[in-house]
Structure 1
Amino acid sequence: MTEYFDYKVITSSLIKAVRTLTSRPCIEANSSGDQPEYPFATFTITSPEIAYERDNNNAQFEVVVSLTWHDESSLSVLNLSKKCRSYFKSTEGRAIFAEKNVVIVDTSDANKRDNFISIEYERAAGFDITMRVLDPYVDDVDSIEQITINGGN
């Protein structure tokens, strides 16, 4: 059986971290279902696999996840975004991911991401998180039991 990295490791850790820090929901962006009450966060995996390093037993790669806060207030989303960004840069915030063998490599600067909806704006702000993960794999190759060189063993 071939092993692979499960993206749920990242998303469940992210949801847990946001909920623990803010007591607010974090959902997948552009998903079906009811929108939570403001404020809430959304996540999108913007770059699912950026090759990094490979050896005989696994491959490291980076994943970029975008975290965006949504609310009716610009100050609210800016503050929540700043709070989360600072948390993911801290030892405590990184530990939630380290428990799952995910390393936070970098967090981008926070920026505004407002959405024009019909006749009003939904205020949004967020940042991107670059994470490094390990993708274990097993090659289904027969092992070499004996090598013969120049007629000898």
Structure 2
Amino acid sequence: MAEYFDYKVITSSLIKAVRTLTNYPCIEANSTGDQPPYPFATFSITSPKITIQHDDDNAPFELTVSLTWHDTSSLSVLNLAKKCESYFKSSVGRALFAEKEVVIVDVTDFDRRDNFISIEYERSAGFDVLMRVQDPYSDAVTPIDQIEINNIGGFK
């Protein structure tokens, strides 16, 4: 068992789902490297840990992943965002993540996210996915079940 939750479980499943569904690449937002040709999707883990239970060991937590489509065409990004949004809301999309022990809690409605670049616009649209995962961390410290205090310094 892993000692911590590995976010690659989420990102590799997301990249695979987008590629299988659309045949277009999905890359990490704001990363180094060359931008792929349009259209393409980007992902960002916008909220990496949302505490939902205050246990130290093996506590579930939630995280938010943002998926955004980029292209020069407004209709293209709207269609791709809608296709992916529908997939993540479907039982098939949820099952892909359930295989990795990731629960899709909520999928927001997609919206426009256009960017003004120099003298033209990059068209973009996207949505957020709230996911719940189990933290495999477990503290190996043996808990103290009983304390015995000896009579020290005359106190009883």
Residue 57 (structure 1) shift: 4.2
Flag structure 2 segments of 5+ consecutive residues without an equivalent.
Answer: 149-156
Residue 126 (structure 1) shift: 0.2
Counterpart amino acid of residue 21 in structure 1: L
* Aligned pairs for 1:2-151 within 5 A: 3-55=3-55, 57-142=57-142
Counterpart amino acid of residue 63 in structure 1: L
Residue 2 (structure 1) shift: 7.4
Q: Give me the whole-angstrom Cα distance separating, in 2, the residues matched to 1:148 and 1:51.
A: 32
Flag structure 1 segments of 5+ consecutive residues without an equivalent.
Answer: none
Q: Give me the whole-angstrom Cα distance separating, in 2, the residues matched to 1:135 and 1:65.
A: 17
Give a deviation string over 1:60-90, Cα, whole Å, max 9, x none: 1110000000000000000000000000000
Runs of 4 or more above 6 Å deviation: none
Give a deviation string over 1:6-31, Cα, whole Å, max 9, x none: 11100000001000100000000010
Equivalent residues of 1:2, 1:138 under 8 A apart: no
Larger Cα Rg: Structure 1 or Structure 2? Answer: 2
Residue 140 (structure 1) shift: 2.4
TM-score (norm 2): 0.89
Instruction: Check 1:51–1:143 CA distance in 2 against 1; reply closer, same or farther (3 A cut).
Output: closer
More strand by share: 1
Equivalent residues of 1:2, 1:139 under 8 A apart: no
Among the aligned pairs, what percent are the same residue?
Answer: 73
Q: Give the SS at the match of 2:80.
A: helix
How many residue pairs get aligned? The number is 149
